[in-house]
Structures are given as C-alpha cells and as structure tokens.
Amino acid sequence: MSSPSPNPLDKSGKNPWIQLLALTAITIGGVFFFGQLLALGVGLLMSGKDLTGLISILVDPTAYPEQRLMFLLMQGMTSAGGFIIAPVLFYFTTVKGNFLHDFFSSKTGLLPTLTMTFAIVFSFMVINTVFIEWNANIQLPEALSGFERWAKDLEESMAAITEYLTTFDSPGYFIMAVIVVAMIPAIGEELLFRGLLQNILRRIAKNDHAAVWLAAFLFGAIHFQFYGMAPRILLGALFGYLYLWTGNLLIPVFAHFINNGVSLAALYIHQQGMTEIDVESTDALPLGYVLFFSVLFITTLFYFKKYLNEEGRRNERLVDRI
C-alpha cells in the first residue's frame, strides 16, 4: 500500500477548527462577494443592459437564448470567486507557504501517472452510471414527501438551467463551456475540497479515510442535488484518494477535468447527431460495459498503487544515498 502524502497544512501550526471556520467564511465571501462582483461586471458588459435590465434577464435566463454566453460566463465568474480566489486567499493568509511546492510537487513520472488516472476516471464514469440510475430512482417514505417534492422541484429547475447552458450552437460556445463547466470547477473545487478542506479534516479527524469521505460528502452536498448526490460523493472520494496517494493536486484536478470534459464532449457529439448515447440520461449503461470497465478500473487502480509504491521506494533510496 502506498503511504498517505504529507499534509501541507500541518506546518501552519494553527488550530484546524479555526482553519475550518476561516475557510468556510472566506469561501462564502468568495461566492457572494468576489464571485458576484465579477459576475455582475461580466453581465453588465456583455448584455449591454443597465442593472435593472440585467436583473430581468437573470430572473428567467432561459427566455433569453441570445444571452446564453453571457449567463455561462457569469456562472464561471461566480465559481472562480468562491472556488479559486477564496481558497487562494485563505492559503496565503493562513498557511503562507510555497503554494506550488505544497500542492503540486510530483514524486512520480507525470505522464504515466496522468495516463493511468485517465483510465481510472473514464472507467469509473461508466461504473458510476449504475449509481446515477439508483440515486435518480430513490423512493422516499411518505413522511419525507415534503422534502421529496422540494428536492424534485429543485432538480427540475437546475436541469432546465443545465440544458440551457449546454445547448451547443457553435464550436466556440462549446469551447467556452469546457472552460466554465470543466476547467474552472476542476481547478477550484479540487483546491477547495481536496487541497484545503480534506487536509484540514485530516488534521481534525486524525484519520485519512474519514477525511476523504467527509470531504467527498460535502462535495456531493454542496451541489444541492439530492437525486445526484450519491454518484458525486463516490466521485469525490475517488478524487480524494488520488490526491491522498500522490500528494499532487494536479492529479485530482486532471481527473475532475476529464470527468466533466468527457461528459461535455459526449453531449456535444450527441447534439451533432454523431452518436445515440445520451450522457444526460439517468439510465445505467448496459451490464456488459459496466463489467468490462469494472475490470479495467480495478486492474488500473492496482497498477497505479503499485507504481506509486515503487516510485516511493526509489525516492527513498535516492534520499538515503545523498
């Protein structure tokens, strides 16, 4: 088994509970201040409207298909404020270390690590369709009927916005969607949930596995989609272990980007009529596909851990010689 990576937040010396509260406060501020300020600027600039006119668009954006790019970029600015600017601000005001060294040091060959990561994530995307179907069809008891109606109404409204944003009417818009929906969340959410939150929880819980799964649960919950929460938690746990084992945040960032980017590319190809596979469907893929990619996932994960162990031992021998 590969050893867990060192915790870059240990050297801060600050109480982890205080760090958790500070991270929460800065993230909320990032979403509702930095993010909204950036989004407002983009909205006013791109819409050509005054503030009142912009608000009327935001009340029902799906009624303004000509403003789709503007709304997409506003979403991107909100995400950047909360998940990139805020975590970076937290790091440089509380940890004050070497950011690149703390989060992006690679102790293994980058190309083989990224190649195996791609195979692991792509395989898991196929496996995860089973959990997507199960989660989408959960029937809650009558006592929770009020919550069920609320959750389904929220799910439908978010699905409408997602469909609006992912209607690709040009290659240029598709590229912008990849940046906003795949690249920004991959960088920001992994920095926040894995680089910072998971490491703070490691300090609190004194248990790496508890930290990974708690961060994954919060990652799933923050999307406010009950009927898609389970597959997101599993995906978050996968990202968490990839980071825990490698100590290089680039690996879960790449994994997250692949997950979102492949989904967008498959949707774009479907909309062009080049495939009948609809990634927006909540149905699981055929059992044969799931079994094949389950074997590929387990096999690649085994060799991934084996490779990390061998590289770790090689690095230890090099250190001993110095």
DSSP state letters, 226-255: GGGHHHHHHHHHHHHHHHHHH--THHHHHH
296 is written with which tokens? 């590929």
d(Cα 107, Cα 118) in Å, to the nearest integer? 18
247 in Cβ contact with 263 (< 8 Å): no
Rounded-to-integer distance, Cα 181 and Cα 195, Å: 20
Under the phi-then-psi rule, with left for phi > 0, alpha for psi from -120 to 50, and beta for the rest, what region is 273? left
Cα(17)–Cα(175) distance, rounded to whole angstroms? 40
Question: What pLDDT was estimated at residue 322?
Answer: 56
Q: Note whether 128 and 301 are within 8 A (CB).
A: no
How many whole angstroms separate alpha carbon 181 and alpha carbon 265?
A: 11
**Cβ atoms of 128 and 231 closer than 8 Å:** yes
SS3 279: coil
Which tokens in the block code for residue 209? 């596995």
Q: Which residues contact 184 (CB under 8 A, 6 or more apart)?
A: 76, 79, 80, 83, 84
Q: Which pLDDT score is estimated for 1?
A: 47
Helix-then-strand count for the chain, H and E: 15, 0
Q: Which two tokens stand for residue 72?
A: 């997409």
**Burial grade of 245 (CB within 10 A; 0-12, 13-18, 19 or more):** buried
322 residues of the chain, pLDDT tens digit each: 456 888 999 887 789 999 999 999 999 999 999 999 999 999 999 998 999 999 999 999 999 999 999 999 999 999 999 999 999 999 999 888 899 999 998 888 899 999 999 999 999 999 999 999 999 999 889 888 898 898 888 888 888 899 999 999 899 999 999 999 999 999 999 999 999 999 999 999 999 999 999 999 999 999 888 889 999 999 999 999 999 999 999 999 999 999 999 999 999 999 988 877 778 888 999 999 999 999 999 999 999 999 999 987 887 666 555 5
Question: Nearest 10 degrees: CA dihedral of 95, 97, 99, 102?
Answer: -90
Task: Return the pLDDT at 316.
Answer: 67
- Could you tell me the two tokens for 116? 């195996």
CA separation for the pair 120, 128 (Å, rounded): 12
Instruction: Report which of 168, 27, 187, 3 is spatially closest to residue 94, judged by C-alpha positions.
Output: 27
List the structure tokens of 1: 């088994």
Can you state the percent helix, strand and coil of the chain, rounding each to 5?
A: 80, 0, 20
Helix axes 145-165, 68-80, angle to 10 degrees: 120
pLDDT at 85: 95
Give the Cα separation of 238 and 205 in Å (integer): 19
Distance CA(35)–CA(42), nearest Å, equals 11
Q: How far apart are CA 171 and CA 75, in angstroms?
A: 19
